[in-house]
Amino acid sequence: MSEDHHAAIKVYKRLLGYAKPYWPLFCVALVAMLVYSLSQAAFSYLMKPLMNGGLVEGNPHVIMIVAGEIAALFVVRGIASFVLNYSMSWIGRQVIRHLRGDLFDKLLRLPTRFFDTSATGILLSKLTYNTEQVAESTTNSVKVIINDSVTVLVLLAWMFYLNWVLSALVLVVVPAIAWLTRYVSRRFRRVSTRIQDSMGEITRTSEEVIAGHRMVKLYSAETAERARFDKANDWNLTQNLKLAFTNCAANPLIQIIAGFGLALVIYVLALNPVGAANTVGDFTSFLVAATLLLPPLRRLTNVNAAIQKGVAAGESIFHLIDLDEERRDAGKPLERVRGRIEFERVGFAYHPRKGEVLKSLSFCIESGEMIALIGRSGSGKSTLASLVPRFYDVTAGQVTLDGEDIRGLRLSDLRRQIAMVTQDVVLFNDTIAGNISYGAAGEVDAEAIREAARAAHILQDIEALPDGFDTLVGERGILLSGGQRQRVAIARALMKNAPILILDEATSALDNESERQVQRALDELMQGRTTLVIAHRLSTIERADRILVLENGRIVEEGSHDELIAHSGVYAGLHRLQIRSTA
């Protein structure tokens, strides 16, 4: 428990750190809080002259003055309330913005391995839901703690001044309330973590259904998906109800305890002990103060809930923020490379406990050479290709670029050397022009985009669209066909004009016309670049300078098309099969 407590305090301190830059505004809020608290006490103070001078002695003059004072008091109180609430909200929103920014930054910098094992929906829910929870914790709670504590203290001071015996009685209830608060807060943190997890689960399930809606329809998986969703949704409900139950039960309990305290005070008053209230005004003022004490006390007990939620949310956010990221700027800077890539006894495993996907691979791609990589599905072709831009690091051996281990090169520079067209083309929610010039900083030459599109044989298709290059594609735009998407990706790669090109040909067969167009686009793209093609098309393979045949993570054959045919090994076999299937 105490270690737990310690960790919670650490997380909370770190959250407060996000609010630190706004301390001047916080000071303004602090003053407003003081004014607000004092106005509360002043209200109870005014009851004394109102009762004694006004009602008991029947002096209308006093009553009128008090009326005026009350009006003025509420104006001051209103202004103070606005200033303190708005400043604290302002700070809270800044904290959320900052945290979201940090989280997003992290998503941009985390290694591929991280994404392999994380569900999108859960990450999204951290970015959207958990960050909101944090604001509650950092600002609203601070507001409550300071504002209400000061109010309570001021009111208590006033009460003690009026009558210390009665006040001491009121204080008897405080330990009981404190104990209850401790219990409630512990429970809150536990439940809050579960609620956040369940929100992640809800987002994840929904996200999958949205992205995979076609499959859901086709496989009539609506009921199953609904069940899966219900499970997360119900869990969320149960946990939220637990939270609500604790919250709803704690409030009246505290009020009951406080009420008993109050009753005790009145009872003791009847016994008229030494130092008890001597005027009606004193007693009314005392009672008003004691009543005014209740709402801030209640909020002070609730504040724990908010803090615990925030700590739970903060924990999960910081866990993500503290993960190791790729070090993009370390290492040797690179100008444009010549593009000689060498794999030296490269071994790679996705997971140490699962076997090696690539085993002691050695080969070299000379600058400007075109290599075709072929092999059965699952033989490790895409894996091999992803080692070059360091989506993953080798687990044995090394990959060198122009003779230097790529692990020693500056990552951002290394990746600038590589254009890649992958099996599943990713288009961003942007215009076609934006997709082709993706990642280019600053003003992009429209003519250059057009030229890239022409070279990728996609220009005609684009011009046929109603808005041409300004047509939105991706999630909320028009959908392009598979072949068109590939050619847009090829245009993007052309636009990047990198010395190294990696192509992971889609296995899905395109029709002849579109295949020819894609092939022509690729021919343009490959010119003068070091190219590694994971090839499925015979046309690509036969054009390669050399062919590497990969089997179970090893290179089993290497040579030109003619050499390998003559060798009549694995390649010759695959070739025969493919010719037969295309025939």
Ligand X SMILES: Nc1ncnc2c1ncn2[C@@H]1O[C@H](COP(=O)(O)OP(=O)(O)OP(=O)(O)O)[C@@H](O)[C@H]1O
Applying CB under 6 A, which residues contact ligand X?
Answer: 116, 350, 357, 375, 377-383, 423
For residue 407, which of 419, 395, 418 has the smallest C-alpha distance?
395
CB 569 within 8 A of CB 551: no
Contacts 24+ apart (CB under 8 A), 449-454: 449/491, 449/495, 452/491, 452/492, 452/494, 452/495, 453/491
Closest approach of ligand X to the CB of residue 395, in Å: 13
Closest approach of ligand X to the CB of residue 116, in Å: 4
Sheet holding 370-375: strands in order across?
A: 418-421, 500-504, 530-534, 370-375, 546-551, 554-559
Write the interaction track for Mg ion spanning residues 301-340; mark x where CB under 5 A is met and - where it is not.
Answer: ----------------------------------------
Q: Is 4 exposed, middle or buried (0-12, 13-18, 19+ CB in 10 A)?
A: exposed
Amino acid at 513: E
Closest approach of ligand X to the CB of residue 381, in Å: 3
Query: Smaller CB distance to Mg ion: residue 149 or 382?
Result: 382
Query: Smaller CB distance to Mg ion: residue 297 or 541?
Result: 541
Binding residues for Mg ion, total number by CB under 5 A:
1
Should residue 382 be labelled a site residue for Mg ion when binding is judged by CB under 5 A?
yes
In sequence order, the 6+-apart residues with CB closer than 8 A to the CB of 514 are 481, 483
Query: Smaller CB distance to Mg ion: residue 336 or 351?
Result: 351
Query: Smaller CB distance to Mg ion: residue 61 or 354?
Result: 354
For residue 43, which of 5, 9, 74 has the smallest C-alpha distance?
74
What phi and psi, each to the nearest 5 degrees, are found at residue 531? -125, 130
Closest approach of ligand X to the CB of residue 567, in Å: 22
Q: How far apart are CA 19 and CA 546, in angstroms?
A: 60
Query: Smaller CB distance to ligand X: residue 312 or 535?
Result: 535
Provide the 3-class DSSP secondary structure of residue 574.
Answer: helix
Query: Smaller CB distance to Mg ion: residue 81 or 386?
Result: 386
Closest approach of ligand X to the CB of residue 558, in Å: 17
Q: Which does 116 bind (CB under 5 to 8 A by kind): Mg ion, ligand X, none?
A: ligand X
Applying CB under 5 A, the span of 63-71, 364-372, 379-387, 447-455 interacting with Mg ion comes to 379-387
Q: Which residue is nearest to Mg ion (CB)?
A: 382
Q: Which does 377 bind (CB under 5 to 8 A by kind): ligand X, Mg ion, none?
A: ligand X
Closest approach of ligand X to the CB of residue 373, in Å: 9
Closest approach of ligand X to the CB of residue 357, in Å: 4
Q: Cβ atoms within 10 A of the Cβ of 504, count?
A: 20
Query: Smaller CB distance to ligand X: residue 43 or 348?
Result: 348
Binding residues (CB under 5 A) for Mg ion: these are: 382
